[in-house]
């Protein structure tokens, strides 16, 4: 029977004001009949205790209290407590900081002799007990140069060390996240680009894509709208597919984001809060992406979110407020100019339509205006004074734009120790749109947890909840900013909205009324969660299993008021609700084996399996005819005219096996082989499975003897890869002949017809992307200058083309594996440290990408015409031998002069009309006269960033550039081609043709009713090149001495300005634009786009 606990667990009361340990032991003996035995001379009388009061305490606890710090140990042996002297250990204490004395929390101290590692606490301090001896300490921290120290410690000796780590320049031991794992950067054989969370923090951006813009070579981000929650498009290494998505696959902490069709072409990634991101890795070449097989063709973006800490609790706050305004304006006419054009147009009406003019079909504007004079008795609004001068001169751009105020607050609580970490991250964002009436707010919460429960078992998980709401402006609301005529007010003095279309001859509803009364709310709840367990069978072999989900629920709530002209007036108010849920579930198992064989061979292998299902359900209902605007969309039952409602569901599933082997010989020769076997329900039985392999080789030339100690070259790596990846993101059920429902009407009631819908293609299979990459990584002058360059060529084959088919079949299109598209390009990332001293450093980064896209093969070589541009001509063309995003249109030669009247007549035109090139010389301007005008894809793009650090100040300047693409500025269709005061116009219309001004490209002003020409032509096509001052930031880090006295770990304040200049010939708001979300439908066209504001940002980051 074990009685040991019984003695030490006895409880008693003792109380002393001042005594020594000997007395205490004696009292315990008396009160409990416990015997003490002494083996050494312990000097118990010298251990003094004061003011101690034990109430019902265990003997064990009392002894612990007495001896804890006095090198005395005790243990129970057969009912007797043995006391003995403990040999006092030596102690190593110290503090680890960087060159600026900023403590490096979490830095690692490894004792080479014992193999044990310790980490520094939040203040960079450590304290390690060791037996006497001589030890080698290796002190290291991510992206700092390792320091080695040798120390000799005697018993009971305390040695104090102050260790300063220098920042490693382009450190090669940096760890990079790759698909299903991490790798040392030096071991990577593929093309992978990274962005750290610290970089993201510098930008007051709404979503992840904006943060990536211009950041990584080969990643082309089109931040195409300034609307809060606008949806930027990312293309990695060019476009791969005509009909299929060109979006990369996003993987957040191993969870593949949902790719179902969401409202307004949004994507789950739009809702992920960028402040919680630790790092972003972009996988570009086949070696890196093939592990994602059928979903890797467009590249993969891996996002790692912030986690808990291993060094105790922290509270951090990051927040900023930004103020924005729209600095670029279109040069539009004022009231007098507008009226002048109207007069001129009327005077010219006779020339263009003598018959109609004779019959009085054209009203003299002076007569028309008189109906709107002050005091008119016709019930018309008052727009002119007695002398017919306009009463209003509204600048609709001024009315539409506002100074925005945006705030973003992020609060994080992290904690943990060596075995367990947890973190809670909360964000609130409230963003104003630059155009009144649009806004976004977002609440985001993240919790992550991981614990090493047993030496062999680690379990963890995370849940990310984002709730975002946006108020959107669409269609007319943006167009009317430019189209509304200046003689109309926003509201009349009595407070009623001006009906901007009441002035005969003009079109365009009141922009401000639309912004106010066309309520479009989009609400999104995005949940991203995973739980996992890792079982270490041996130190070399572990198994990881994970269940994950990305669940999205979106709700669109629209209400357009009873009295909004052109929109909902006819219907007496339109309320509509639609909701969709999109859910992805993922179950994955992964085996990882790492081993070293001898000194030379290193092996890292994984084998995995994945199951994924994704489903989508949506429903919608709309009701017309409301009693009152009060109800909005909150009580559809009050509408008098319910419309047919709808719903739809779809589901797909994927099953996959994958594996990867990384082998390294002497750390010099690297081999990566990857393969993924995918099965998808999107394809018919005969083509359900696809295999996507890749292989890559790397050679660390600088590890070879002939370079190892080279003075200039500190690192040189060559690598190359080749592999296949797939793209399968087509709509579900395309391989079978789906039937659709048709709403038939019989006798004023609805009958559902079932008829053809989808054309079956049982041969449908995977789109395959073949990519070859060759890369060089070179570091010179002790890593002061680093260059990484990649050359690639990739070809999509068996392109999943939504091919237009002869309509005589009854079908419009079919998905078929037709055609090839190629991209080749060069990527360059250059970073240099021209100055690097403790007090002053300068870092400069340039990244630059060149890409050439070419459509290599289409079905029968036939062109595909896409989209309808303003003016009813083709939007863009896909043609073999051309870049996928090419513009087709007419050549505007100018205007017909009086001398050319006869020639113009052959084209049914008169002098003053636009003169287009008759390309085929057939005497008529038809679609056959269209030529290829240019392309929407840029030749090159990138960014140039300089960061200066001086003492506690840092300054960074970020310039973004893009060149070689065109933008079709389709707004010209209304702003310049309509030269007859049908809506407001660009001031350039003042340069319209007149007999005195015949050398102009702008047609003579004339009423719209006599006709006018408007086509996608060379005059509309604008150069999309630009240089943008994206960010200029000045930051100050409070000195560590000052803040540590206040128990603050770090404190930083900064001020920045974003989008602070834009150099571009483009006449619209922003050349980085694409008004249409469909891939390539209208090239890069702009039609009523939402401008991007210039921002001033003030921010504060603090960590406790």
Any contact of residue 977 with other proteins (CB under 8 A)?
yes
114 binds other proteins (CB under 8 A): no
Q: Which is nearer to other proteins, 978 or 1022 (CB)?
A: 978
H/E/C letters for each residue in 180-209?
Answer: CEEEEHHHCCCCEEEEEHHHHHCCCCCCHH
CB of residue 819 to other proteins, shortest distance in Å? 14
**Any residues with CB less than 8 A from the CB of 1042 and at least 6 apart, and which?**
none
Rounded Cα distance, 401 and 510, in Å: 14
CB atoms near residue 250 (< 10 Å): 23
Indicate the DSSP class of residue 428. Answer: E
Does residue number 555 form part of the binding site for other proteins (CB under 8 A)? no
Which residue from 733, 781, 1038, 1060 is in contact with other proteins, where contact means CB under 8 A? 733
With contacts defined by CB under 8 A, name the span among 514-522, 706-714, 809-817, 1034-1042 that binds other proteins.
Answer: 809-817
The interface region with other proteins, picked from 177-185, 804-812, 849-857, 931-939 by CB under 8 A, is: 804-812
From 60-68, 397-405, 679-687, 696-704, give the range in contact with other proteins by CB under 8 A. 679-687
Token pair belonging to 490:
């926003």
Q: Return d(Cα 265, Cα 245) in angstroms, integer.
A: 11
Range 451-460 contact pairs with CB under 8 angstroms and sequence separation of 24 or more = 451/419, 451/420, 451/421, 452/418, 452/419, 452/420, 455/536, 456/535, 456/536, 456/537, 457/533, 457/534, 457/535, 457/536, 458/533, 458/534, 458/536, 459/531, 459/532, 459/533, 459/534, 460/531, 460/532, 460/533
Residues 743-772: x where in contact with other proteins by CB under 8 A, - otherwise, as a string:
xxxxxxxxxxxxxxx-xxx-----------
Show the tokens assigned to 849: 């990408």
Q: With respect to other proteins, which residue has the nearer C-beta, 546 or 870?
A: 870
Q: Which residue has the tokens 């994927």?
A: 654
* DSSP structural state of residue 24: H
Least distance from C-beta 672 to other proteins, angstroms? 28
Region from 144-152, 338-346, 733-741, 828-836 binding other proteins, contact rule CB under 8 A: 733-741
Q: Which stretch binds other proteins (CB under 8 A): 22-30, 260-268, 674-682, 1084-1092?
A: 674-682
CA angle 226, 232, 235 (to 5 degrees): 145
* Residue whose C-alpha is closest to residue 754's, from 765, 738, 768: 738
Which is closer to other proteins, CB of 455 or CB of 495?
495
Find the shortest distance in angstroms from Cβ 905 to other proteins.
Answer: 11
Structure tokens at 121: 């606490």
Sole binder of other proteins in the list 680, 728, 1016, 1075 (CB under 8 A): 680
Q: Which stretch binds other proteins (CB under 8 A): 226-234, 316-324, 589-597, 862-870?
A: 862-870
Q: What token pair was written down for 1104?
A: 């406790």
Looking at residues 572 to 591 of the shown chain, list those that interact with other proteins (rule: CB under 8 A). Answer: 572
Cβ distance 1001 to 1015 under 8 Å?
A: no
CB of 170 to other proteins, least distance (A): 46
Greatest CA separation found in the chain? 131
Per-residue tokens: 1001: 């490209």
List 891, 1008, 1027, 1055, residue binding other proteins (CB under 8 A): 1008
Q: Where are the beta strands (DSSP E) in 539-573?
A: 541-560
Contact between 18 and 50 (Cβ < 8 Å): yes
- For residues 761 and 814, the answer to whether their CB atoms sit within 8 Å is yes
Q: Which stretch binds other proteins (CB under 8 A): 79-87, 563-571, 717-725, 941-949?
A: 563-571
Check binding of 505 to other proteins (CB under 8 A). Answer: yes
Cα separation, 583 vs 542, in Å, equals 29
Which secondary structure element, helix H or strand E, spans residue 584, and what is its range?
strand 574-597
Instruction: Using the structure block, give the residue that is written with the tokens 């770090």.
Output: 1050
Is 593 a binding residue for other proteins by CB under 8 A? The answer is: no
Nearer to other proteins, 367 or 1045 (CB): 367
Question: In 3-state terms, what secondary structure has residue 22?
Answer: helix
501 forms part of the interface with other proteins (CB under 8 A): yes
Nearest to 833 by CA among 964, 727, 714: 714
- Which helix (H) or strand (E) covers residue 512, if one does? helix 511-517
Q: Binding to other proteins by residue 379, rule CB under 8 A?
A: yes
**CB of residue 545 to other proteins, shortest distance in Å:** 18
Segment 339 to 368, residues that bind other proteins, using CB under 8 A? 355, 359-361, 363
CB atoms within 10 A of CB 1063: 11
Q: Measured from the CB atom, is 879 or 1028 closer to other proteins?
A: 879
Q: Which token pair is 771? A: 């990519």
Residues from 1011 through 1030 that contact other proteins (CB under 8 A): 1011-1012, 1014
Q: Which stretch binds other proteins (CB under 8 A): 171-179, 738-746, 840-848, 946-954?
A: 738-746
Q: Are 115 and 136 in contact (CB under 8 A)?
A: no
Minimum Å distance from CB 828 to other proteins? 41
> Least distance (Å) from other proteins to the CB of residue 681?
4
Q: Please identify which residue in the block is written with the tokens 């200039």.
A: 712
649, 665, 901, 1063: residue in contact with other proteins (rule CB under 8 A): 649
Give me 814's structure tokens.
Answer: 């079919």
Of 197, 461, 679, 867, the one binding other proteins by CB under 8 A: 679
The one segment of 75-83, 241-249, 306-314, 730-738 that binds other proteins by CB under 8 A: 730-738
Count of residues of this chain found to bind other proteins when the rule CB under 8 A is applied: 103
920 binding other proteins? (CB under 8 A):
no
Nearest CB to other proteins, comparing residues 17 and 808: 808
Is residue 655 a contact residue for other proteins (CB under 8 A)? yes
Output the six-digit token pair for 119. 């980490």
From the CB of 876, what's the least distance to other proteins, in Å? 14
Helix (H) or strand (E) holding 482, with range, is helix 476-483
79 touches other proteins by CB under 8 A: no
Site for other proteins in 448-477 (CB under 8 A): none
Cβ proximity to other proteins: between 320 and 352 the closer is: 352
Q: Which of 200, 345, 556, 1010 binds other proteins (CB under 8 A)?
A: 1010
Task: Specify the residue, 460 or 505, whose C-beta has the smaller distance to other proteins.
Answer: 505
Q: Tell the smallest beta-carbon distance from residue 989 to other proteins (Å).
A: 15
Site for other proteins in 382-411 (CB under 8 A): none
Stretch that binds other proteins, among 8-16, 182-190, 808-816, 1020-1028 (CB under 8 A): 808-816
Which residues, other chains included, contact 863 with Cβ-Cβ below 8 Å and sequence gap of 6+?
A: 877, 878, 879
Told to check if 900 binds other proteins by CB under 8 A, we report: no
Q: Which of 860, 996, 1041, 1045 binds other proteins (CB under 8 A)?
A: 860
1074 vs 1087: CA distance, rounded Å: 8
Closer residue to other proteins, CB minimum distance, 89 or 679: 679
Per CB under 8 A, does 650 bind other proteins?
A: yes
Closest to 1064 in 3D by CA, of 990, 969, 985: 969
If one asks whether residue 805 binds other proteins (CB under 8 A), the answer comes out as yes
Minimum Å distance from CB 1087 to other proteins? 12
What is the DSSP secondary structure assignment for residue 928, as one 8-state letter? G
- As measured in angstroms, the least distance from the Cβ of 150 to other proteins is 59
Applying CB under 8 A, the span of 194-202, 331-339, 408-416, 810-818 interacting with other proteins comes to 810-818
Nearer CB in complex with other proteins: 262/506:
506
Candidates 5, 73, 312, 504; binder of other proteins (CB under 8 A) is 504
Closest CA to 27 of 66, 78, 73: 66
Answer yes or no whether residue 870 interacts with other proteins by CB under 8 A.
yes
């Amino acid at each position: 029977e074990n009685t040991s606990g019984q003695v030490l667990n006895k409880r008693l009361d003792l109380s002393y004001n001042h005594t020594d340990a000997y007395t205490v032991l004696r009292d315990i003996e008396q009160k409990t009949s416990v015997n003490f035995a002494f083996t050494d001379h312990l000097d118990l009388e010298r251990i003094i205790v004061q003011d101690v009061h034990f109430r019902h305490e265990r003997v064990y606890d009392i002894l612990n209290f007495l001896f804890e710090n006095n090198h005395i140990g005790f243990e129970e042996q057969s009912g007797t407590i043995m006391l003995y002297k403990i040999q006092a250990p030596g102690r190593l204490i110290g503090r680890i900081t960087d060159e600026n004395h900023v403590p490096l929390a979490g830095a690692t101290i490894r004792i080479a002799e014992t193999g044990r590692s310790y980490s520094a606490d939040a203040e960079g301090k450590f304290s390690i007990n060791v037996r006497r001896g001589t030890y080698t300490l290796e002190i290291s921290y991510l992206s700092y140069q390792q320091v080695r120290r040798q120390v000799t410690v005697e018993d009971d000796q305390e040695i104090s060390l102050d260790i300063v780590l220098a920042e490693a320049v382009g450190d090669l031991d940096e760890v990079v996240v790759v698909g299903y794992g991490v790798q040392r950067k030096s071991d990577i054989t593929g093309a992978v680009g990274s962005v750290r969370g610290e970089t993201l923090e510098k930008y007051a951006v709404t979503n992840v894509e904006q943060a990536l813009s211009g950041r990584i070579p080969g990643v082309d981000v089109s931040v195409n709208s300034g609307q809060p929650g606008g949806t930027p498009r990312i293309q990695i290494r060019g476009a791969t597919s005509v009909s299929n998505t060109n979006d990369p696959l996003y993987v957040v902490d191993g969870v593949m984001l949902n790719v179902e069709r969401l409202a307004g072409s949004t994507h789950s990634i739009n809702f992920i809060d960028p402040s919680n991101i630790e790092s972003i890795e972009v996988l570009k070449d086949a070696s890196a992406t093939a592990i994602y097989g059928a979903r890797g063709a467009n590249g993969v973006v891996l996002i790692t979110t912030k986690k808990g800490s291993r060094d105790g609790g922290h509270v951090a706050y990051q927040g900023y407020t930004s103020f924005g305004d729209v600095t670029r304006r279109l040069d539009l006419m004022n009231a007098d100019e507008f009226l002048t054009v109207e007069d001129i147009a009327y005077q010219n009406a006779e020339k263009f339509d003598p018959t109609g003019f004779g019959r009085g079909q054209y009203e003299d504007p002076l007569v028309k205006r008189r109906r709107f004079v002050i005091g008119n008795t016709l019930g018309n609004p008052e727009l002119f004074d007695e002398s017919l001068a306009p009463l209003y001169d509204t600048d609709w751009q001024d009315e539409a734009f506002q100074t925005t105020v945006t705030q973003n607050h992020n609060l994080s609580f992290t904690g943990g120790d060596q075995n367990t970490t947890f973190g809670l991250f909360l964000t609130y964002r409230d963003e104003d749109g630059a155009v009144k009436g649009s806004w976004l707010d977002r609440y985001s919460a993240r919790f992550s947890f991981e614990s090493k429960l047993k030496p062999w078992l680690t379990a963890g998980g995370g849940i990310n909840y984002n709730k975002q709401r946006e108020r959107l402006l669409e269609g007319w609301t943006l167009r009317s900013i430019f189209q509304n005529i200046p003689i109309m007010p926003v509201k009349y003095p009595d407070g009623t909205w001006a009906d901007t279309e009441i002035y005969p001859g003009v079109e365009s509803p009141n922009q401000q009324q639309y912004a106010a009364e066309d309520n479009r709310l989009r609400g999104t709840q995005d949940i991203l969660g995973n739980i996992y367990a890792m079982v270490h069978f041996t130190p070399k072999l572990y198994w990881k299993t994970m269940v994950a989900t990305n669940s999205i629920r979106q709700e669109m709530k629209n209400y357009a008021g009873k009295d909004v002209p052109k929109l909902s007036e006819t219907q007496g108010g339109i309320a509509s609700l639609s909701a969709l849920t999109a859910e992805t579930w993922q179950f994955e198992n992964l085996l990882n084996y790492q081993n070293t064989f001898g000194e030379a061979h290193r092996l890292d292998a994984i084998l995995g399996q994945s199951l994924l299902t994704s489903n989508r359900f949506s429903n919608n209902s709309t009701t017309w005819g409301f009693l009152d605007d009060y109800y909005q969309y909150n009580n559809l039952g009050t509408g008098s005219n319910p419309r047919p409602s709808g719903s739809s569901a779809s589901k797909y599933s994927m099953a996959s096996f994958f594996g990867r082997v990384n082998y390294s010989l002497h750390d010099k020769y690297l081999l990566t082989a990857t393969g993924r076997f995918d099965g998808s329900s999107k394809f018919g039985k005969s083509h359900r499975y696809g295999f996507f392999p890749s292989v890559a080789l790397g050679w660390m030339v600088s590890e070879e003897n002939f370079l190892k100690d080279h003075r200039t070259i500190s690192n040189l790596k060559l690598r190359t890869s080749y592999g296949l990846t797939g793209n399968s993101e087509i709509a579900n059920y395309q391989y079978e002949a789906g039937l659709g429902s048709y709403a038939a009407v019989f006798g004023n009631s609805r009958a559902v017809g079932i008829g053809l819908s989808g054309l079956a293609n049982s041969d449908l299979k995977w789109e395959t992307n073949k990519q070859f990459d060759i890369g060089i990584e070179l570091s010179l002058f002790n890593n002061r200058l680093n260059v990484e360059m990649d050359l690639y060529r990739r070809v999509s084959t068996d392109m999943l083309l939504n091919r237009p088919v002869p309509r005589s079949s009854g079908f419009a299109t079919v998905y078929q594996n037709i055609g090839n598209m190629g991209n080749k390009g060069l990527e360059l990332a250059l970073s240099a440290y021209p100055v690097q001293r403790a007090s002053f450093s300068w870092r400069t980064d340039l990244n630059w990408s060149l890409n050439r896209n070419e459509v290599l093969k289409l079905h029968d070589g036939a062109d595909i015409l896409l989209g309808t541009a303003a003016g009813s001509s083709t939007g863009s063309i896909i043609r073999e031998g051309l870049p996928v995003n090419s513009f087709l249109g007419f050549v505007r030669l100018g205007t017909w002069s009086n001398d050319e009247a006869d020639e113009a007549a052959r084209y049914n035109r008169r002098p003053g009309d636009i003169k287009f090139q008759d390309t085929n010389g057939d005497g008529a301007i038809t679609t056959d006269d269209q030529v290829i005008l240019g392309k929407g894809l840029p030749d090159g793009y990138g960014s140039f960033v300089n960061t200066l650090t001086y003492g506690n100040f840092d300054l960074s300047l970020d310039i973004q550039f893009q060149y070689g693409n065109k933008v079709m500025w389709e707004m010209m269709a209304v702003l310049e081609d309509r030269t007859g005061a049908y809506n407001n116009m660009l001031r350039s219309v003042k340069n319209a043709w007149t007999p005195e001004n015949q050398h102009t490209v702008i047609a003579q002003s004339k009423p719209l009713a006599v006709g006018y020409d408007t086509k996608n032509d060379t005059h509309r096509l604008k150069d999309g090149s630009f240089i943008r001052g994206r960010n200029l930031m000045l930051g100050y880090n409070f000195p560590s001495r000052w803040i540590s006295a206040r128990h603050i770990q770090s404190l930083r304040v900064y001020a920045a300005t974003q989008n602070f200049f834009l150099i571009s010939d483009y006449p619209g708001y922003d050349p980085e634009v694409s008004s249409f979300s469909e891939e390539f439908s209208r090239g890069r066209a702009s039609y009523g786009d939402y401008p991007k504001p210039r921002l001033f940002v003030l921010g504060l980051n603090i960590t406790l």
